[in-house]
Structure 1
Amino acid sequence: MSNREQDFKDIWSIIEEEKLKAIEDKSDETKSQETNVFFIGCKNSGKTTLILKFLEREETPKPTTGLEYTYGRRTRGMNLAKDVAHLWELGGGTFLSQLLNIPLTTDTISNSSVLIILDLSKPDELWDVMESLINELRSRIKSIVSDLRSTNPAIVTDLRRKAKEKHGAGHPDEPVLTPLPIPVAFIGTKYDVFQDFDPEKKKIISRTLRFVAHKYGASLYYFSNKSETLVTRCRQVITHFAFNGPLNQAVSMDYNKPLIVPVGSDSIGQIGIPSLSSGDDLAKIGAESKSPFDVWKQAYCGFFPQGASHSLLCQ
């Protein structure tokens, strides 16, 4: 076969491939897509408010007592395919966190994302709530992955790929990172209260949240329902999770302003080392701790001792 004939054949192969791709793309446009978005956090942290703002409903939030469900719809494409976002709100904070096992399953994990809602106005509860919810989420995902290894290993491979892509190959912080394999965002609520905190307190809380979010492959955003700018930003984040909508990649790491830290944009070098309360010694804490996570925990709790009251407030 001459070079001209080979080139002619290659051109037709490309044309046929493009035709098939166009048919597949058109088919995708007509298919309804479904996602699951989970809102977990402590009582009165603002989970319901976030959902209502996303759905643009002007309602007074009611207490969530267990696992509550609602949904959002969006029309997409020229063929008006209707995408559905299943919105799950877990009430009861850490007390009822195992209810997450009901909707987060082997069937839903591939199209699921999680918003961990943290009350910035209560730093003496924040760490315990955050750590408890992360541990529950990690445990559930680990159980699902274990089941999928024998039933659908391709999903496990895909989840691992997504986890690695969060920070990119060869990230300098890789030894410290344990990214979750599904999209996760920390939403720090009640920024209107937090902004009046002492600057040093804001610095400690913000840097700690940045470290934990960075470690677990989560984005971090501050929110207040009293700021239309922050409402719009968080609505965009939820739309991204729910409908794969576009996400503004702006970054703000100044603790004197609302944080905007998309996953993959931070680093330990930018975050710095933990601040210590008087009497604490970083070298001693580091020697006694098993991991950087434990160092940050000890440092944070040195400033903000975590009270037993959080378990009652989360019920």
Structure 2
Amino acid sequence: MAKPSDTLWDLAIAEVKKRANPDDDVKQGEVCEKSILFMGNKNGGKTTIILRCLEREETPKPTIALEYTFGRRARRHNAPKDVAHFWELGGGTSLLELIRVPITSYNVRSFSVVLVLDLSKPNELWATMENLLQVTRNHVNKILAKLEKTNPKVAAELKQRMRNNLQRDHPDYELVDPFPIPLVIIGSKYDIFHEFDSELRKIISKTLRFVSHYYGASLVFTSKSEALLLKARALINHLAFGYDKSKSVSVDPSKPLFIPAGLDSLSQIGPPPASDSDIGKMRAKTPLELWKKVFEKTFPPKSSCDLQDAKNPAQDRQYAECEIDIMRAEKDQELEQYRRNASKSWKEMDFDSD
């Protein structure tokens, strides 16, 4: 709180410290709570990363729908432990509607997203990233639109906070489009990715650098290597428990990338990896769309049928069993009825209501 004796310079210093360390607003003795949603490729390593962040020696299990866990950390000696809520969305892009469950108007100020992309599947990379981020962004924007009516100060604070990742004198300040809440992009399975042709690695690395910088996000490549997992953990601990933000940077495409938000630039990233003639033929309304077209020229997206699960053996006639098939049909009808009822009840719920 400002004192009557504070000079303008004192107030300015306090404001800078407040913006750099928003957790300092938490009064001594209070518990700070933050939430993170992990999403990304199916079997991309999200659970492994969460367990490593929480220092749990468990064998990862496949994530079903939306799963929750939490962790506790103390910011200082003898201080109460802060709480971080970890949500994990399973199923890749098949359960997009569940994104709106954990992110609400009550916690949006302390919410972050970690997008885990499987580097070993570049043909699925852009579609996975685009679908998940688009649905999340649309949902958060709806929450912010409501807050602008009920609490405009908070809405303005959230928008400005994401702009603060770049200094106003940064040459890209007006060229980027920050994600509405803090975002970390993790490229997983670097050990497999490292075996790719060097030119392909450069295209993927350069593209993810652009996307991360454009969204005001942090970027890190990781694998099961303890050293790489520690780097990812450092970024996540910053979001979850307010630990100091790392200022180290690694942009060498022959090594795992590590770029905290705001420490990259379009001039260092360079133009999209394509010839001038190819770029001239591509029609794009935004820089992001141009990079998408260039990336998908090298890594064509898989068709929707390729991304579907394998054929259900229960519907294969060679495994037909009359009595079992009758029971299965009854259960399928029950499941379909449950889905209809659940869908109705979900539509009636307002997860963003104040």
Partner of 1:88: 87
Distance, in Å, in 2 between the alignment partners of 1:250 and 1:80 is 28
Partner of 1:253: 251
Provide structure 2 residue ranges, at least 5 long, that are not aligned to the other structure: 15-23, 311-354
What residue identity is the alignment partner of 2:87? W
Cα offset for 1:93? 1.7
Distance, in Å, in 2 between the alignment partners of 1:192 and 1:247 is 26
Distance 1:72 1:291, change over 3 A: same
Q: Where do 1:1-315 residues align within 5 Å?
A: 13=5, 28-225=27-224, 227-276=225-274, 281-285=278-282, 288-308=283-303, 311-312=307-308
Distance, in Å, in 1 between the alignment partners of 2:280 and 2:211 is 20
Partner deviation per Cα, 1:221-269 (whole Å, 9 max, x = no partner) = 00101x1110111111111111011232110111100001111111111
What residue identity is the alignment partner of 2:279? L
- Give secondary structure in 2 for the equivalent of 1:39: strand
Distance, in Å, in 2 between the alignment partners of 1:122 and 1:98 is 24
Q: TM-score, normalised by structure 1?
A: 0.87
RMSD value over aligned CA atoms?
Answer: 2.5
What residue identity is the alignment partner of 2:280? A
Distance 1:27 1:204, change over 3 A: closer
Provide structure 1 residue ranges, at least 5 long, that are not aligned to the other structure: 1-10
Distance, in Å, in 2 between the alignment partners of 1:32 and 1:299 is 47
Distance, in Å, in 1 between the alignment partners of 2:63 and 2:30 is 33
What residue identity is the alignment partner of 1:248? S
Taking CA–CA contacts closer than 8 Å with sequence separation of 6 or more, which of the two structures ends up with the larger relative contact order? 1
2:137 touches 2:180 (CA, 8 Å); kept in 1? Answer: no
- Give secondary structure in 2 for the equivalent of 1:173: coil
2:75 touches 2:241 (CA, 8 Å); kept in 1? Answer: no
What residue identity is the alignment partner of 1:290? K
Cα offset for 1:158? 0.5
Cα offset for 1:35? 0.3
Q: TM-score, normalised by structure 2?
A: 0.78
What residue identity is the alignment partner of 1:110? R
Distance, in Å, in 1 between the alignment partners of 2:300 and 2:119 is 15
Distance, in Å, in 1 between the alignment partners of 2:285 and 2:74 is 49
Distance 1:254 1:71, change over 3 A: same
Distance, in Å, in 2 between the alignment partners of 1:74 and 1:165 is 26
Distance, in Å, in 1 between the alignment partners of 2:85 and 2:146 is 23
Cα offset for 1:98? 2.0
Distance 1:260 1:313, change over 3 A: farther
Cα offset for 1:79? 4.2
Distance, in Å, in 2 between the alignment partners of 1:48 and 1:62 is 7
What residue identity is the alignment partner of 1:149? E
- Give secondary structure in 2 for the equivalent of 1:85: strand
1:42 touches 1:313 (CA, 8 Å); kept in 2? Answer: no
Distance 1:27 1:142, change over 3 A: closer
Identity, % of aligned pairs? 46
Distance 1:280 1:82, change over 3 A: same
Partner deviation per Cα, 1:151-205 (whole Å, 9 max, x = no partner) = 1111111011112111121432234311013211100000000111100000000
Distance, in Å, in 1 between the alignment partners of 2:115 and 2:41 is 9
1:276 touches 1:303 (CA, 8 Å); kept in 2? Answer: no
Distance 1:283 1:112, change over 3 A: same
Cα offset for 1:39? 0.4
